[in-house]
Structure 1
Amino acid sequence: MSLNLVSLVGRAGMDPDVKYFESGSVVCNVTLAVNRRSRDDQPDWFSLEIWGKTAEIAASYVRKGSLIGVSGALKFDRWQDRNTGANRSRPVIRVDRLDLLGSKRDSDPNAVNTYEDEF
């Protein structure tokens, strides 16, 4: 049995970057800052990749500073550096589920909206 599951709650580090393709597909990229238990530590930063209807929802409702929860799978983007020819990679969370937990300005802590990607 194998399992690749990541669940995170944090704040969006930027407004979503949305791309629409001729095929009709849509992808949304955003960074997520997740605080550690100690307030003295710097947050961990994650790159999120969201596709489909969930990407459109993220584009409409997620803004820098928004509190969101995500679950998905860890993948690695791999490429060859154009200048040096070195192989490069970066971890990316492929989001399957998005929970809109609010923003710094929201006053209702119980308001949660959940969106799942359909495969």
Structure 2
Amino acid sequence: MASYNRIILVGNLTRDPQLSYLPSQTPVCEFGIATNERWRDKDGNNHEDVCFIDCKLFGRGAEVFCQYMTKGRPVLVEGKLKLDQWTSQDGEKKSKHRVFVENFTFLGGQGGGGPGGGGQGESNYAPRSQPATGRGGAPAGRGASPAGRGSVGGASSAPARNTYAPPAEAEPSYEEESFNTGPREEPPF
């Protein structure tokens, strides 16, 4: 029977990522993510279940991730669940399941206000380019609507929402930037 191993997680970093290098000089980034599940039971009581997941990332993406991510920041990671095995300094064999990250996406917002994070974050990450604009100067994609939808002659009677206006100062942002680590070396274990 065929098998499939693919993990997609969205959560907040539980600690600052740690960058190290293998003897082959391959960068390795280790970090943790917390995911939250909230629900209300039949009696109306709120509950929350938090899951902590350790992750590893190899290659150039490891350096990029460690440079721009800090504890509390939200991120989407995609990879494979694998058993990481090693021998401790005292000779004891150890193992742990980890997500070996293949792709990640920086999500907007500053974590920090407890589980779940929130707010708008700032970073030194420079975006690749300005968003492409659609009709009327609004960005194409999110928040832009084609002219004529719900209006007569392309003019809308409703106030404009979600319109793009460049910041007064060019404030760099990493909101929803993706990074695909591409072909990578297999971990040495």
Q: Which runs of 5+ in 2 are unaligned?
A: 40-45, 111-118, 123-141, 143-174, 184-189
The answer to whether structure 1 residue 114 and structure 2 residue 183 are counterparts is no
Q: Which of 40, 47, 72 is 1:40 aligned to? A: 47
Q: Given the two structures, how large is their TM-score scaled by the length of structure 1?
A: 0.84
**Hey, what does 1:51 align to over in structure 2?**
58
**Hey, what does 2:104 align to over in structure 1?**
98
The answer to whether structure 1 residue 75 and structure 2 residue 82 are counterparts is yes
CA contact (8 A) 2:38 2:49 kept: no
The number of residues matched between the two structures is 117
Identity, % of aligned pairs?
26
Q: Which runs of 5+ in 1 are unaligned?
A: none
AA partner of residue 61 (structure 1): Y
CA contact (8 A) 1:15 1:30 kept: yes
Structure 1 segments of 4+ aligned residues over 2 angstroms from their partners:
20-24, 37-42, 78-85, 105-108
Distance change in 2, residues 1:94/1:40 (3 Å): same
State the structure with more CA Rg: 2
Give 1 or 2: higher strand fraction.
1
Q: Given the two structures, how large is their TM-score scaled by the length of structure 2?
A: 0.55
Distance change in 2, residues 1:107/1:18 (3 Å): closer
AA partner of residue 33 (structure 1): A
Q: Distance in 2 between matches of 1:20 and 1:35?
A: 31
